[in-house]
């Protein structure tokens, strides 16, 4: 193999003159993606420990329970999920199914209301991640009647 360190190649990249040797690491850098199972487990771990917001993409679709409405946008999800996660004392992943970049999880949440009431609530969560490992969609299903009674202190 020829020693290329003495060859003076330059390329134009985004209008900047950059030597080939500066570009080689970039050109051959293989982007490492987390596998979807690990990504989902990391997201749910962050729900317990903090930092779940870092997983959420800017362009986001959010569905909930029996509503046909899909809410859009990162801020909408951060607000809705954030209110729910603020009640969560602990999340346990009971079952996790993965296909491609999509995940179905059955999670058990131990919730505590502002009044101090506690509730064990199973939640079915359907998640979708994009190729940059960001969460781009979430639809959740749970017993809304039990949840409302819990929040009302019944």
From residue 71, give the alpha-carbon distance in Å to each of 32, 68, 79, 81.
31, 10, 11, 12
User: Do 21 and 71 fall within a single domain?
Assistant: no
pLDDT digits (tens, 9 = 90+) for 24-79: 555 454 456 789 999 999 999 999 999 999 999 999 998 877 667 788 899 999 99
User: Do 74 and 141 fall within a single domain?
Assistant: yes
The pLDDT of residue 19:
54
* CA distance linking residue 61 with residue 74, whole number of Å: 8
pLDDT digits (tens, 9 = 90+) for 89-116: 999 999 999 999 999 999 999 999 998 9
User: Do 13 and 48 fall within a single domain?
Assistant: no
User: Do 50 and 16 fall within a single domain?
Assistant: no
pLDDT band of 82, cuts 50, 70, 90: very high
* 77: containing domain: 36-151
Q: Which one is predicted more confidently, 29 or 137?
A: 137
Element (H, E) at 86: helix 74-87
The pLDDT of residue 70:
81
pTM of the model: 0.75
């Amino acid at each position: 193999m020829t020693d290329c360190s003495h060859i003076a190649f330059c390329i134009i990249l985004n209008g900047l003159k950059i030597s080939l040797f500066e570009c080689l690491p970039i050109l051959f850098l293989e982007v490492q993606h987390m596998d979807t199972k690990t990504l989902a487990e990391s997201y749910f771990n962050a729900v317990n420990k903090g930092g779940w917001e870092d997983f959420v993409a800017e362009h986001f679709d959010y569905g909930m329970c029996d509503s046909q409405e899909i809410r859009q946008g990162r801020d909408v999800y951060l607000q809705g999920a954030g209110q729910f996660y603020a009640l969560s004392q602990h999340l346990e992943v009971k079952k996790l199914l993965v296909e491609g970049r999509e995940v179905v999880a059955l999670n058990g949440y131990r919730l505590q209301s502002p009044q101090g009431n506690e509730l064990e609530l199973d939640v079915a969560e359907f998640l979708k991640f994009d190729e940059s490992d960001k969460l781009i969609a979430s639809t959740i299903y749970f017993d809304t009647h039990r949840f409302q009674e819990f929040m009302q202190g019944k």
